[in-house]
A and B are shown apart, each in its own frame.
Chain A
Amino acid sequence: MHDPFGGFPILTAIIAAPAIGALVVFLLPAARVEAARAVGYAATAATLGLSLWMLWHFQTGRAGYQFVESERWMGSIGVKYVVGVDGISLFMIVLTALLFPIGLLASAKLTNRVKAFTAWMLLLEAALLGVFLALDLIVFFVFFEVVLVPMYFIILGWGHDRRNYAALKFFLYTMAGSAFLLVGLLSLGFLHQSATGHLTFDLRTLTAWAPGGLDEGTARWLFLAFFAAFAVKVPLFPLHTWLPDAHTEAPTAGSVILAGVLLKMGTYGFLRFSLALFPQASVDLAPLLLVLGTVGIIYGAIVAAMQPNLKRLVAYSSVAHLGFVVVGIFALTTQGIEGGIFTMISHGLTTGALFLLVGMLYDRRHTFNIGSFGGLWKSVPILGGLFCATAFASIGLPGFSGFIGEFLVLIGTFIIDKPYAVIGAIGVILAAVYLLWAYQRVFMGEPSEENRKLPEINLRELACVVPLLALSLFLGLYPKPVLDRIEPSVKALIVHVEQHSDYREPGVSNRGPNARSVPKGDVRKGPGK
């Protein structure tokens, strides 16, 4: 087995670093604000370092899980602590590890109960990393649920005016979804036990067994149970109503993490669990998800355009972007899924940066109301320039990462089902409408008296936004390093789906615009056909 770390449990260390940091912060006296901050930065930086180390040694050409660790945990109920990473989860780990130090840096001006805030943030990071690394269904569920608690307290403790309502709504929506997930995954484990006599929740075992071992009806019910949890998380239209509230009321760092990482738990869940465990059901129900994703793209964009509240506008733009991800995933083509994963990364960078910038505007004007701004370009030109660049990155201007992701999604969808691609493409235009219109209203024109003298962006704030923007630009110009690492896992996933369903991925030949060859020589059947 490939082990460049000499037996060092790198993945466990990635989860443990922030968790230990949280414990240290918890044990510090509340008055030692600076110490709490220092531990926060140290722990998140260590996590980032570890995850980059892991990224460095990740083998590019391989599809399977790497650096797998497996320990007995609750043997009597078949639960093992199994962690591993593959191309699908790799960049989610790195993205998470990157956004947390930035989130803490963006909260450096926080004065209210810094110790508790730092501890919750670190706990949240540990839980999120656990979600993306866990390869045991119960362990995954444990982390999936644990994420709720720190996020709930971050919104509740440091949020804006309607934080109580938003935090509660966030918690209950997600918990209601995961209730079905729990029943679903327990059922899966016990059905496996009654079929094979062996109780386990190991994803690898179940992935090998479930596609053939479950009958069609059961698989469909289980798919829907998993779907309930992930669809709330993504969030898919019409389960998205918690999102604008939670994103708007959360403190800046909370919004960055919510949009940047938390939403991806849903799309990651679709990729890792729904497709792998229930391929036939995924193929059968793909039209449903394609429709919901497309509706999300259009609906999110239109509602975003109508928002008078800048932060809410950015929040609704997430609904649209995640719609792209879902469409890409359930197009079930290599390009579509790669594009979906790439959009997940890109959205984390650009929307994270947008929330940071909106937070900076709030720090200066104490409002999110678009109507209260105007002419800011004159008072804060650098901030305005960055906002402009980030808006373009988020719209998906060629040269930024957003373009690569959405382009791949549209290609991947186009070769399987043209209407979704066409409607989705309209969403790209609408994104330009809402962001540029908002940009005009906030930054153009003549500044009013309050907007005339505002402090320019400072070094700390630059240090938050510039890395995200630079990465988005880099990936937009040179996406190869990321795509190379994603591709083997995506291809393997599609092969897995093809083997266990009647779906065949259409090949794209280079013989001409209308040439859609059938690679495996048998009946072509795509979703919705």
Chain B
Amino acid sequence: MSAGVLAAVAPDSIHGPHVDWLALAPVVALAGAGVLVVLLRALLRTRPAVVPVTTVVALLGTLAAGGTLAWQWINVRDHGATVTMAGMVRVDAFAIFLGILVVSALFLTLLLSLDYIRPEGLEAPEYFAMLLLSAAAMVVMTTANNLIVVFVALEALSIPLYVLVAFDRRRLASQEAGIKYFVLGSFASAVFLYGVALVYGATGSASLTGIAQFLRQNTLFENGTLLAGFALLVVGLAFKISAAPFHMWTPDVYQGAPSPITAFMSSATKVAGFAAFLRIFLVAFPLYRTDWRPIIMALATVTLVVGTVAAVVQTDLKRALAYSSIANAGYVLIGFAAASVDDRAAAHRGLEAALFYLFTYTFMTIGAFAVVTLVGRRSHDARHNFDQYRGLARSSPVLAGFLTFFLLAQAGVPFTGGFIAKLQVFGAAIDAREYWLALVGVLSAVVLAFFYLRVIVVTFAGDDEAGEAAPARRRRIGAAAVVVLVATGVMVLLLGILPGTFLHFARDAASLI
């Protein structure tokens, strides 16, 4: 220990990095609201006002985050991307696009939760705080320009989710799911961290742009370490987006978690996972794409096959939707694979398709899980096998109508967003000359359609056979849940009929290439 070291840590010699607060504003809004909720909980304790007040704070925080993201969008459009915090954070169109998705998912989840937590007796401000903090970490993830930041965000978004999954204390399944997600999630995070270490060891940098620069300037004679790093990064990220064969946790956790949380995980978590996945590989390792491209293509194929085949044989709707969300990740991966070809125009189209698919998928899946949440109230969210949905068209035609619509959208029926999204993905794959990948995608869409139709048949069946349980347990749908259903429904319809604006949005966001 010398004077030099001491001098280096002396206060006057530390220069904090420049902080662009606008770039961090959405995170600040979300995390601030989350902290405020915790504070209010501590101050108000169990007074009756605590829940309404924290609800309002959570919703306002989310809206503020959305507003700042819109502001950022204008800023980026006019002045280009912002790099701040010593290059750790990069706010570009890609980040804002996915950030908006995360915040939209959060907002819809919050609204959906309002109608869920009170009747289920789970009313607690911590629920909101956890959601807000997790979403804040997801927004960080979309902007992360450094592997360390990615890892920190990954952990920060996962830990609140572990708690949220186990939030339904009365149901053993929920707690089991929480533990399972925690154990496997931590394991995946550790694998990811190992990957970060190997990549750092191979390139001497953790910054994505730094790695790219190093690899451009130096040729690695021994690239084993780097390739091993790729493999571990893929495993860690594939876990988060639940791509097969790293999907094992998904059905159990989606099934056990409280339904609004399932909605959140299937949308926002996946968005954040893909944000990191796409950015790391497209920004840091574009020169090595011939090495990692086959991995992505194999991942896409396996994910599609496993997701579709497993979805078809399920008898529990939540579980089946979990598998369908796995398959949907496969479609995004097709876009990802197309984004890694040499032809720049085709690659751009691929990324655009992947982003547009994520956009559409977010609304489709939240819509579907919103119906699941509302139907689940009959059994306190405990039972979701198909029998619970038998005759739904009779007992609550509105819910059955929405469920049918969202399932048809996921099946890719025209005039829904799902069709345009699939069209984009398959188009990108064909443009990238990946005919067989497109064919696998199209055929798995057919198999998935079989599953969606089976669910629709169940909801419309029992018309004349059974249906005795239905009318007695009928309960009103709260205004907040109606907003969720209508908002997602209108969005999915709009994406199918007038996708122009959103396609442009996705095209701008695909500026990563």
Contacts and interface: CB of A to CB of B under 8 A. Distances in A.
Are A and B co-members of a single complex?
Answer: yes
Interface string B496-513: 000110011001000000
A89 B450 CA distance: 32
Contacts of B446: 172, 175-176, 179
Contacts, number: 77
Given A74-B503, A171-B449, A172-B449, 15 more contacts: A74-B500, A76-B504, A77-B424, A141-B414, A142-B419, A143-B414, A156-B460, A164-B461, A172-B446, A175-B449, A182-B442, A183-B426, A183-B439, A183-B442, A190-B431
Contact of B413 (A146, A176, A187): A146
A186 B438 contact: yes
Nearest to A180: B442
Given A164-B461, A176-B443, A142 B415 contact: yes
Contact of B442 (A74, A146, A172, A179): A179
Contacts of B507: 76
A283 interface: no
Interface string A362-378: 00000000000000000
Given A138-B423, A179-B446, A146 B438 contact: no
B415 A146 contact: yes
B453 interface: yes
Nearest to B464: A112
A381 interface: no
Interface in B453-481: 453-454, 457, 460-461
> Which has the most chain B C-beta neighbours within 10 Å: A142, A149, A172, A179?
A179
A157 interface: yes
Nearest to A141: B414
Interface in A74-102: 74-77
B314 to A, nearest CB: 16
A145 interface: yes
A117 to B, nearest CB: 13
A152 interface: yes
A362 to B, nearest CB: 18
B408 A171 contact: no
B283 interface: no
A172 B456 CA distance: 14
B21 interface: no
A182 B414 CA distance: 12
B457 A190 contact: no
A168 B503 contact: no
B430 interface: yes
- 5 shortest A-B CB distances, which residue pairs? A142-B414, A179-B442, A190-B431, A186-B430, A176-B446
A40 B431 CA distance: 44
A202 to B, nearest CB: 16
B435 interface: yes
Contacts of A189: 427
Contacts of A149: 408, 413
B431 to A, nearest CB: 5
A157 B397 CA distance: 14
B265 interface: no
Interface string B414-438: 1100011001101100110001001
B507 to A, nearest CB: 7
B243 interface: no
B499 A146 contact: no
A168 B457 contact: yes
Interface string A134-173: 0000100111011011001100110000001001100110
A279 to B, nearest CB: 23
A153 B415 CA distance: 17
- Contact residue range for chain B? 20 to 34
A190 B427 contact: yes
B153 interface: no
Interface of B: 408, 413-415, 419-420, 423-424, 426-427, 430-431, 435, 438-439, 442-443, 445-446, 449-450, 453-454, 457, 460-461, 499-500, 503-504, 507
A141 B415 CA distance: 11
Chain A facing B: main interface SS: helix
A171 B450 CA distance: 8
B31 to A, nearest CB: 36
16 contacts: A77-B427, A77-B503, A141-B414, A142-B414, A143-B414, A145-B414, A146-B413, A164-B457, A164-B461, A171-B449, A172-B449, A172-B453, A179-B443, A180-B442, A183-B426, A183-B435
Nearest to A189: B427
A143 B449 CA distance: 17
Contacts of B449: 171-172, 175
Interface of A: 74-77, 138, 141-143, 145-146, 148-149, 152-153, 156-157, 164, 167-168, 171-172, 175-176, 179-180, 182-183, 186-187, 189-190, 193
B338 to A, nearest CB: 11
Contact of B430 (A143, A145, A190): A190
Contacts of A186: 423, 426-427, 430, 438
> Which has the most chain B C-beta neighbours within 10 Å: A152, A156, A182, A187?
A182
> Which has the most chain A C-beta neighbours within 10 Å: B419, B430, B435, B461?
B430
Contacts of B443: 176, 179
A156 B455 CA distance: 13
B500 A179 contact: no
A152 B438 CA distance: 26
> Which has the most chain B C-beta neighbours within 10 Å: A77, A156, A164?
A77
A179 B445 contact: yes
Contacts of B503: 74, 76-77
A172 B435 CA distance: 22
Nearest to A113: B463
A145 B453 contact: no
Contacts of A179: 439, 442-443, 445-446
B308 to A, nearest CB: 13
Contacts of A148: 413
B430 A74 contact: no
A325 B250 CA distance: 51
B444 to A, nearest CB: 9
Nearest to A143: B414
A459 to B, nearest CB: 31
A146 B499 CA distance: 17
A75 B500 contact: yes
A171 B460 CA distance: 16
B174 to A, nearest CB: 34
A168 B439 CA distance: 22
Contact of A172 (B439, B450, B457): B450
A148 B408 CA distance: 11
Nearest to A176: B446
Contacts of A152: 453
Contacts of A141: 414
A76 B500 contact: yes
Contacts of B445: 179
A190 B24 CA distance: 41
> Which has the most chain A C-beta neighbours within 10 Å: B419, B427, B450, B460?
B427
A183 B423 contact: no
A468 B363 CA distance: 47
Contacts of B454: 168
A147 to B, nearest CB: 10
A245 to B, nearest CB: 15
B313 to A, nearest CB: 15
B27 to A, nearest CB: 32
Nearest to A127: B414
Nearest to B436: A183
A75 B500 CA distance: 7
Nearest to B413: A149
